[in-house]
Amino acid sequence: MAHILIINPNSSLACSAGIAAAVAPFRWPGGPSLEVATLEEGPPAIYSWRDWHGVVEPLCRRVESHPADAYVIACASDPGLAAVRGATARPVFGAFRSAAAAAAARADRFGVVAIVDASKDRHLAALRDVGLEGRLAAEVALNVTMEVLLEPDAARCRLVAAARATVEQGAKAVILGCTGMARHRAWVEKAVGVPVIEPCQAAVALALGVVLGTD
């Protein structure tokens, strides 16, 4: 059975639980194993470039010590993606780049909802890397903590308002720009009325396509 390792690079077990719930529809009897792991050495969330750089080496070590058929970096800043790809011959998917590909496949222009303003530079760098910066209609930051995002109701009004703001600026699809937002995807999509992309789901979908195609 193929095995996909999904690594949450922050230390929040609650965030990992939300990621596991988001990818649960991709599990089926006899299908590839989807393991969600938490990087204990990581910060509570990836807020800054310092947080981003701080998890690169631990991510590489985790991949080197835990064999899998494919890996997903379950953070919408794609920390250490190039370095992790250099640490294994297996495919490695960044959640944000996967979400951008999914959004571009659904709409000419898309929006992003970020956890904090500092995330915007990392998202733009990723979009430039894959040639999709011109498809970004708008990005709006919530400027909240991971703890707020993980509350069932605390962040939902802000998430909906931010997503609507990107739609008002031309977005026809919206990317949730933090994996802590995973549990809110369906709620936001229903409220806003355009496709809402959850990055871990997008990355796991791509990973499944690869491992199933090589069986």
Among the residue ranges 52-66, 118-132, 147-161, 173-187, the one predicted with the least confidence is 147-161
Confidence band, pLDDT 50/70/90 cuts, at residue 215: low
Report percent pLDDT > 90 for the chain: 92
pTM of the model: 0.94
129-179 pLDDT, tens per residue? 999 999 999 999 999 999 888 887 888 999 999 999 999 999 999 999 999
For residues 29-45, average pLDDT: 95
Neighbouring CB atoms inside 10 A of 32's CB total: 20
| Euclidean distance between CA atoms 119 and 114, whole angstroms | 6
| Euclidean distance between CA atoms 195 and 209, whole angstroms | 21
| Euclidean distance between CA atoms 111 and 148, whole angstroms | 21
| Euclidean distance between CA atoms 106 and 29, whole angstroms | 29
Domains of the chain from N-terminus onward: 3-94+201-213 (3.40.50.12500), 96-199 (3.40.50.1860)
| Euclidean distance between CA atoms 39 and 10, whole angstroms | 6
